[in-house]
Structure 1
C-alpha cells in the first residue's frame, strides 16, 4: 500500500476525494481542457522522447520489523503500542487500526488521519513515519513518533498547574500547529487535552486526526457531530449546518482555561447542560453580540434563563488583562469575530512578562506511556509553590521543589 502526496495542492482551497469527506456535498467531475485542433509545430530534427518520472513505488514493510514493548491505550478506532524498531532501536508508537467491523473497506477515519499527517508537517504535529502490515495483509499499523505523555493524564498527576510562562509556551505551540492546519485548509474538529501529546523536552504534539478533514471555499455542509462535548463550540451545540475553523479556536479557548486552572473549563453532562454552563460563564448570547443566532435550530429546542454577565474574571482571578482578553476572544460567541490562529500568535499576552519559557527548561516527568512508575524525590529546601500557575516575575534561578509528580521544576 502506497501513499502519494500532491505537494502542489498545499495551501489551496480544494475539495478532496469523497473518501476523505463527509459525503454530504455533491462533487462535479473536472471539466477537461480543450484539445488543440492540430499539434503544435515541431522542429524538423527528431525530438528525443521524454518520460514522466515520479516517486519510487515500494511495498509496505511488515510489522514484524517492530517489537511491541507495552500497550499505551485503546480507542474506538485503534490500539496504540509502544514499540522498538528492530533494525535501528528507535522507540515508536504503533497504532493498529481496527478493521474487524469495517464493511466498506479501509476506515475513513484512518484515511483522514494518514492524509492529514502526511499533508501537514509541523514540529508540533505528531509525525507519521510509515505504514506497516501483517504478513497476511489483514492487519494495518500506523508508525508514529513516540511521545511520553498526553497532556490530560500529565496534568492529572501534577500537584499544581503549569506556571504562566509554561502555559504561554504550550499555547504558542498549540496555536502554531493549528495555524499550520488551517493554512493547509484542514480543520481538526477534536482538539482536547487528551489529544495533545507532550515529550520530556517541553514540546507539544497535536495528535488524533480521525475527525480532521479538508475544506474548501465555500465551506459547504459538514457533519455537526464533531468535537468532544466539553470542547464543542456553541454554534455546533445549537445545530449550525455550516461551520468553519472557528470551532478549533473555541476548543483552544477551553484548553487555555484548563491549562491555567488544571481543571476542565466547561464539563457539561449533556448538550443542554453544556450550553447552560457556557451561558453561565460568558453570559447568554444575544443578536447584538452574535448576529444570526436566532436562526439556529437549537434555540427552538432549548429554553434558557437570561444571564447577562461575563464571569471569566472571577473564574481566572490570577490571569492578566491580556490573558483574559485572549480567552474572551477565543471564546467569542460569533464565529465570524472569533480570533484566528494567525491573530492569536501575535496577541500581546505572549510578549508581556513573564515571557514564554524555553521548552528545554520544562520539568520532566515519569512517562505513563512508557510504563514508568512515579518517583518521589526529597529536596531541601523547598521553595513555595506558585499559586494557580502564577509567576512572580523575573529573578534569580531557584529550584521550586520536586512536586509529588516526580518532576523537577526550574523557575525563572
Structure 2
C-alpha cells in the first residue's frame, strides 16, 4: 500500500450530511494506526469555507484506503445511510474525499475522534473491570448492533478493536465498516468474514447465506470476554475455534445445522476429526461460575477478571447463554436483550462507575427510547460536528 503522508493539506471534501462540497484544512496530521488495508491519521480539521462556522476546529481521524476503482465504495454508502440516523453508539463519518497518487486512488474518510478503542482500554486496566462497566459496555454494544440490524447492515467484524470507547464518559461506539455489507440473505456471501475469536459457528462451518445474526454471536463473545478478562474462546485455527464451540454447546442438532445453512461436508470434516472428551474444557459455561484449580491452570478456561462476584457472574452467564446458541434466529438480542432486568443497575441515578463518576452517557430516556423500539433519530454525539 502506498504510504501517502502529509502533515497538512487543503482539500475540497464531501460533507456526509448533505453531500455538499466543503473546503477543509487539515493540519498536524500524524500516523495514528496502520493495518493491512488502511492507514489512520490523527490531527486537526479546520473549516476554511463554512459561512458563520468558518475557522471552526475539530480533532479528527482520517482513514486512508486504496480502492481499486473510483466511485462510492460500499463502506461510504453504509456510513452515509447510518449518518442519516445519528445514533449515539455508531461512529460519525464527517467527510470523505478521493485523490489520485502515483496512479492509484486514495479514498479518505474523516471521522470524529475518540481517544481509545475498547481493546486498548481493557488492556490499560489489565482486563479487569467491575460489573457496572461490563453492563454499561454490553448494553451500548447490543444497542448499536440492534440499530445496524434494523438498518439492514451486517458489520461482519465486531471485536473490541472496532469499538471506540471514551473512558471518561463511558460512551461506546461501533466503528470500522470496511468489512460490512447490506443484508442480502438470499445472495451467497463469503464465509471467511469476522475475526476468528468472534466468528460464529455458521461461518466456521462454511455457511454462505447469513444475516446480522452473525454480529449477535460476536457481541456475545465480547460480553463473555468482559466477564472473563480474556478472549472468551481463543481457537488456534478456524477448525479449532469450531471445536471450542462444540465443547461449550455440545453437538449441534439437525435443526441447528439446518438453521445455520452450513456446508455439510465442512461440518462432517470438522466434527469427525474433533477429539471429543467426556468433559471438555467449556461445558455449560461452568468454568466461568465455578472455577477450579484445573480450569484456572488452563488459559482457555482461566477467569482473569476477579472484580466480579459469583452472584453477578451467575446472572451474567444466565443472560450470555441465551445469546451464544447455534440457531442464529434464537440468539437473544434487540429489545428483548436490552430490556432484561439485568441492566437496570446502569440506569439508577446513584450508580457509580469504576472511575468514581456517575453514568452520564446513558439516562432513563435511553431506556424508554429502546423500550418503544429505538426507531427515532437520536441526534446525539460526544462532540460538535461542523
Q: What is the aligned partner in structure 1 of residue 317 from structure 2?
A: 324
Matches within 5 A, 1:238-253: 238-253=205-220
Provide the alpha-carbon RMSD of the alignment. 3.1
Shift of residue 154, structure 1, vs aligned partner: 1.6
Alpha carbons of structure 1 residues 320 and 105: separation in structure 2 relative to 1, 3 Å: same
Matches within 5 A, 1:7-86: 58-62=20-24, 65-86=25-46
CA distance in 2, matches of 1:96, 1:360: 39
CA distance in 2, matches of 1:355, 1:285: 37
CA distance in 2, matches of 1:341, 1:175: 7
Shift of residue 361, structure 1, vs aligned partner: 4.5
How high is the TM-score relative to the length of structure 2?
0.70
Q: What is the aligned partner in structure 1 of residue 5 from structure 2?
A: none
Structure 2 segments unaligned to the other structure (5+ residues):
1-12, 47-54, 291-309, 357-386
Shift of residue 116, structure 1, vs aligned partner: 4.8
CA contact (8 A) 1:130 1:143 kept: yes
How high is the TM-score relative to the length of structure 1?
0.66
CA distance in 1, matches of 2:352, 2:92: 20
**1:335-372: CA deviations, max 9, x gaps?**
12111322211223213x576788995539xxxxxxxx
CA distance in 1, matches of 2:56, 2:313: 48
Q: What is the aligned partner in structure 1 of residue 134 from structure 2?
A: 167
Matches within 5 A, 1:260-271: 260-271=227-238
More helix by share: 2
Shift of residue 223, structure 1, vs aligned partner: 2.0
Alpha carbons of structure 1 residues 98 and 342: separation in structure 2 relative to 1, 3 Å: same
CA distance in 2, matches of 1:271, 1:191: 17
Q: What is the aligned partner in structure 1 of residue 239 from structure 2?
A: 272
**Higher Rg:** 1
Higher mean alpha-carbon deviation, 153-162 vs 270-279, is at 153-162
Pick the aligned partner of 1:98 from 57, 66, 74. 66
Matches within 5 A, 1:8-407: 58-62=20-24, 65-86=25-46, 87-99=55-67, 102=68, 104-106=69-71, 108=73, 110-112=75-77, 114-132=79-97, 139-159=106-126, 161-199=128-166, 200-216=168-184, 219-287=186-254, 296-297=263-264, 298-302=266-270, 303=272, 304-306=274-276, 310-317=283-290, 318=310, 319-351=312-344, 361=353, 363=355
CA distance in 1, matches of 2:81, 2:196: 23
Shift of residue 138, structure 1, vs aligned partner: 5.3
CA distance in 1, matches of 2:347, 2:143: 17
CA distance in 2, matches of 1:66, 1:295: 48
Shift of residue 253, structure 1, vs aligned partner: 0.8
Q: Secondary structure at the match of 2:322?
A: helix
CA contact (8 A) 1:202 1:359 kept: no
CA distance in 2, matches of 1:140, 1:179: 28
CA distance in 2, matches of 1:293, 1:96: 35
Shift of residue 168, structure 1, vs aligned partner: 0.4
CA distance in 2, matches of 1:232, 1:264: 12
Q: What is the aligned partner in structure 1 of residue 295 from structure 2?
A: none
Question: How many residues align structurally?
Answer: 307
Shift of residue 204, structure 1, vs aligned partner: 0.5
Q: Secondary structure at the match of 1:336?
A: helix
Q: Secondary structure at the match of 2:90?
A: coil
CA distance in 1, matches of 2:86, 2:287: 39
CA distance in 1, matches of 2:355, 2:64: 31
CA distance in 2, matches of 1:110, 1:207: 11
CA distance in 2, matches of 1:140, 1:66: 15
CA distance in 2, matches of 1:144, 1:114: 10
Q: Secondary structure at the match of 1:159?
A: coil
Q: Secondary structure at the match of 1:330?
A: coil
CA contact (8 A) 1:168 1:356 kept: no
CA contact (8 A) 2:189 2:209 kept: yes
Higher mean alpha-carbon deviation, 171-180 vs 107-116, is at 107-116
CA distance in 1, matches of 2:203, 2:131: 31
Alpha carbons of structure 1 residues 293 and 144: separation in structure 2 relative to 1, 3 Å: closer
